[in-house]
Homo-oligomer: A and B are copies of this chain.
Amino acid sequence: MIQDLKNSYGSLFEDALLEEINQFGTYKDVPEGYKLIEIGQYIKSMPLLISGAIKIMRDDDDGDELLLYFLESGDTCAMTLTCCLGTTKSEIRAISELPTKLIMIPIEKMEEWTGKYKSWRNFVFESYHNRLMEMLETIDSIAFLKMDERLLKYLRDKSKITNDDTIYSTHQEIAYELHTSRVVISRLLKKLENQEKIKLNRNNIKIISL
């Protein structure tokens, strides 16, 4: 564990802090598609991503859902940070998008380190910053882009996150993440295929050039 930790966070944190993380954190290794946090669930610890990727989804009461953003190595969940104050119930759902390694930090430590380590404080601030910027980007997409542009952006982002030019998703899954219907996605994907930007297969989409 200490080696993984050093690789991902060694340049960010001082040795004493790395030591504490190693001591108090819990190493976790989850497969793809593992549900890490559910909406309304209470949060007891915050995740530090070592490798893999996590998909953060927003759901509302009527079963509507929407992809907010992805977390990658070196990220942490700002929504979790946020839960250390006030309400501790999660507003989001977190699902691993890839096999993922992470370290869970008890929230008391998060509080303690904030006073103790400047590098930790900066890390937390920077995480908030990054998450706010991702939220802004999400807002830009849903407010300013048409569905075909959002789909294109989705395919690009997904390919980048998984580091694979084939995207293993069904049209229905994409529809859920973009909060639209399967028929709409099929329609737009077919248009992209006709433009020879992608190649459609059962259960996957091969990107030719986006």
Q: Which residues of A contact B (CB under 8 A)?
A: 58, 60, 62, 64, 66, 68, 78-79, 81-82, 84-86, 91-92, 114-115, 118, 121-122, 124-126, 128-129, 131-133, 135-136, 138-140, 142-144, 179
Contact = CB atoms under 8 A, between A and B. Distances in A.
A78 B82 CA distance: 13
Given A121-B121, A135-B135, A143 B64 contact: yes
A135 to B, nearest CB: 4
Chief secondary structure at chain A's binding surface: helix
Nearest to A125: B85
A121 B115 contact: yes
A129 B58 contact: no
Contacts of A66: 139, 143-144
